[in-house]
């Protein structure tokens, strides 16, 4: 059976919370479970984490957990009757409120953002509810803002508000995010995604907090603001992975710019060998439908052709009618793209730092040998995951089997392109390691007698960061 190389991330929610639903998602192809901390209590997320771990164990698979921090969400207040209909060219007042639970006076939209009148200018356009309703500022004064509707619609209570990002004064890591991060680290999440990233320093702050907790955790930068695109390379370098967050990108930028930005992000991530996730509305029609649109299928395949390490499902699995069916369909689309003649996953050769020069060079060499001898798989013995990450970045022609005795490492490998994580006990002898790998590959049906595999590992065995050896083995 062919191995899918790009990974699938599924957002969990009411449609996928049950133990049975989680097992179905894993068996359908979910590699990473995303917990959206914009919704739900700590108690609810703790139970989700417990159920994911139990379902993964039941399926005999590794599944990573990605904690997606909420970020500085600006929201409207409440409306009398729960909605407010705004007609084209109608004028409304915008006023700040201390709580999104506050009921707005008639003809007013309350916005939970301190300093609203100070930060807005005449001519600014505010996008309400992801751009379903737009208003343009026509007057500012006396602590209030008067605006005219340029795109009509009906507002619901507490919908999101997009203010011009260059003037938003809220920190990317809010107090709520700090509390959620502490909770996530205590639960042993495998990745942390930071929303509304604007600078590399914000990514480093999250990493510092994780390290201060004694739980270093890879940080995923969600790229969704104009400032992030301006500082793109610095943010990519500061991050362990990046996400093309097309929902907010599509609000901050005109739709025609988003595909170009996506390709720019994926190219830079490949250049610096950072896993890249493409997210938002990839299979949106399947929230209700049993088939994707042709455009959605093409969108998923295009992300694969452009070198994405992972593709992500949001509402499709969180609240859709048939989550497992969506994952199976995405799996089929990705696999078909990868098996086509148009799929050429190019490795990027980049300058090596002194710290990684030997390990990365050896991993690249192992990939070159894998390609030249036509090996069935490349086996990467890894304590920290670094060897497998280097191999993944080099894009070998065969799947990478990441063997590790470290359960945290195995789960983190779930996000890496082409890597199949498998547990192996601690071994202290390289010959014994190769023999054990040989047996595991045969037992899992990954090789047959006469096939060859390439192994890359470090000597002395069991010491992290010592990747320095390659061996080619013919299966007997």
How many independent structural domains does the chain possess?
3
**Are the C-beta atoms of residues 421 and 404 closer than 8 Å to each other?**
yes
Among left, alpha and beta (phi > 0; psi -120 to 50; other), residue 39 is: beta
| 20 and 153 part of one domain | no
Least Cα distance to 401 among 444, 358, 435 occurs for 444
* Nearest residue to 297 (alpha-carbon basis) of 261, 260, 340: 340
CA atoms within 13 A on the CB side of 167: 15
- Residues 72-126 have pLDDT tens digits of 888 899 999 999 999 999 999 999 998 888 999 988 999 998 889 988 999 999 9
Domain assignment present for residue 208? The answer is yes
Residue 342 pLDDT: 92
pLDDT at site 359: 83
Q: Using the Cα atoms of residue 230, residue 236, residue 242 and residue 244 in order, give the sign of their dihedral.
A: positive
What residues contact residue 225 under an 8 Å CB cut-off, 6+ apart?
A: 165, 196, 197, 198, 248, 252
Pick from 266, 254, 347, 273: nearest CA to 311 = 266
Residue 400 in any domain: the answer is yes
| Four-CA torsion 418, 23, 21, 7, nearest 10 degrees | 0
DSSP result, 244-257: EEHHHHHHHS-GGG
Task: Please report whether residue 344 resides in a domain.
Answer: no
Taking the chain, what is the end-to-end CA distance rounded to the nearest angstrom? 20
Catalytic sites, residue numbers = 34, 75, 222, 280
CA separation, residue 177 to residues 10, 68, 180 (Å): 21, 9, 5
349 domain-assigned: no
Q: Is 68 exposed, middle or buried, given 0-12, 13-18 or 19+ CB atoms closer than 10 A?
A: buried
Same domain flag for 467 and 421 = yes
* Distance set, CA 36 to CA 70, 130, 156, 310 (Å): 7, 17, 21, 17
- State the helix-helix crossing angle for 323-338 and 19-28, rounded to 10 degrees: 10
If asked whether residues 51 and 196 sit together in one domain, one would say yes
Residue that terminates a domain, selected from 338, 368, 393: 338
Is residue 169 exposed (0-12), middle (13-18) or buried (19+ Cβ within 10 Å)? exposed
Residue 186 is predicted with a pLDDT of 97
Please indicate, yes or no, whether residues 134 and 248 belong to a single structural domain of this protein.
no
**Contact (Cβ atoms closer than 8 angstroms) between residue 139 and residue 122:** yes
CATH label of the domain that carries residue 203: 3.20.20.60
Over residues 128-141, the mean pLDDT reads: 90
What's the average model confidence in pLDDT over 202-210?
96
What is residue 372's predicted lDDT score, i.e. its pLDDT? 95
For residue 327, the enclosing domain spans: 7-71+171-338
In this predicted structure, the answer to whether residue 370 has a pLDDT above a threshold of 70 is: yes
**73-87, 174-188, 350-364, range with the lowest pLDDT:** 350-364
Residue 2 lies in a domain: no
User: pLDDT digit string (tens) for 25-59?
Assistant: 999 999 999 999 988 999 999 999 999 999 999 99
Burial (CB < 10 A; 0-12, 13-18, 19+), residue 344, is: exposed
Are 315 and 211 found together in one domain? yes
* Claim to verify: residue 152 and residue 192 sit in the same structural domain: no
Compute the CA torsion angle 270, 273, 275, 279 (nearest 10 deg).
-30
Give the Cα separation of 164 and 252 in Å (integer).
8
Residue listed under structure tokens 């945290």: 408
Tokens representing 120 are: 């807005």
pLDDT category, 251, cuts 50, 70, 90?
Answer: confident
**Whether 93 and 118 share a structural domain:** yes
- Map residue 33 onto helix, strand or coil: strand
């Amino acid at each position: 059976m062919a191995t899918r190389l790009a990974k699938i991330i599924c957002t969990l929610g009411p449609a996928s919370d049950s133990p049975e639903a989680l097992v179905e998602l894993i068996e359908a192809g979910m590699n990473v479970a995303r917990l959206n901390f914009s919704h739900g209590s700590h108690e609810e997320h703790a139970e989700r984490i417990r159920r994911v771990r139990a379902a993964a164990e039941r399926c005999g698979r590794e599944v990573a957990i990605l904690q997606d921090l909420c970020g500085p969400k600006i929201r409207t207040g409440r409306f009398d009757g729960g909605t407010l209909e705004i007609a084209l060219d109608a004028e409304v007042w915008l006023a700040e409120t201390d709580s999104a639970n506050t009921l707005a006076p008639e003809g007013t939209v309350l916005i939970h953002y301190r300093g609203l009148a100070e930060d807005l200018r005449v001519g600014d356009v505010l996008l309400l509810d992801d751009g379903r309703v737009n208003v343009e500022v026509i007057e500012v004064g006396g602590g209030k803002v008067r605006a005219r509707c340029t795109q009509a619609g009906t507002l619901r209570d507490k919908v999101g508000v997009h203010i011009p990002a260059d003037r938003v004064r809220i920190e990317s890591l809010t107090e709520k995010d700090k509390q959620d991060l502490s909770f996530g680290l205590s639960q042993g999440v495998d990745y942390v995604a930071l929303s509304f990233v604007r600078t590399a320093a914000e990514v480093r702050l999250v990493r510092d907090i994780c390290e201060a907790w004694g739980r270093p955790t890879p940080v995923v930068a969600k790229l969704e603001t104009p400032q992030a695109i301006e500082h793109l390379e610095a943010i990519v370098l500061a991050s362990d992975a990046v996400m093309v967050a097309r929902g907010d990108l599509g609000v901050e930028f005109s739709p025609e710019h988003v595909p170009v930005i996506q390709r720019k992000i994926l190219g830079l991530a490949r250049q610096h060998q950072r896993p890249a996730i493409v997210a938002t509305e990839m299979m949106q029609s399947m929230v209700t439908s049993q088939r994707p649109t042709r455009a959605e299928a093409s969108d998923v395949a295009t992300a694969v052709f452009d070198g994405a390490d992972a593709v992500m499902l949001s509402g499709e699995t969180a609240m859709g009618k048939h989550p497992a069916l969506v994952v199976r369909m995405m799996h089929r689309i990705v696999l078909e793209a990868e098996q086509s003649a148009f799929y050429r996953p190019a490795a990027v050769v980049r300058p090596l730092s002194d710290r990684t020069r030997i390990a990365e060079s050896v991993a690249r060499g192992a990939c070159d040998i894998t390609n030249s001898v036509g090996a069935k798989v490349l086996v990467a013995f890894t304590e920290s995951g670094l060897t497998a990450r280097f191999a993944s970045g080099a894009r070998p022609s065969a799947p990478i089997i990441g063997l590790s005795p470290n359960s945290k490492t195995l789960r983190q490998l779930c996000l890496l392109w082409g890597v199949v994580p498998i547990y192996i006990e601690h071994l202290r002898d390289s010959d014994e390691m190769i023999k054990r790998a040989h047996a595991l590959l045969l037992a899992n049906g990954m090789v047959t007698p006469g096939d060859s595999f390439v192994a890359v590992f470090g000597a002395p065995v069991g010491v992290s960061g010592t990747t320095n050896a390659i061996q080619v083995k013919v299966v007997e």
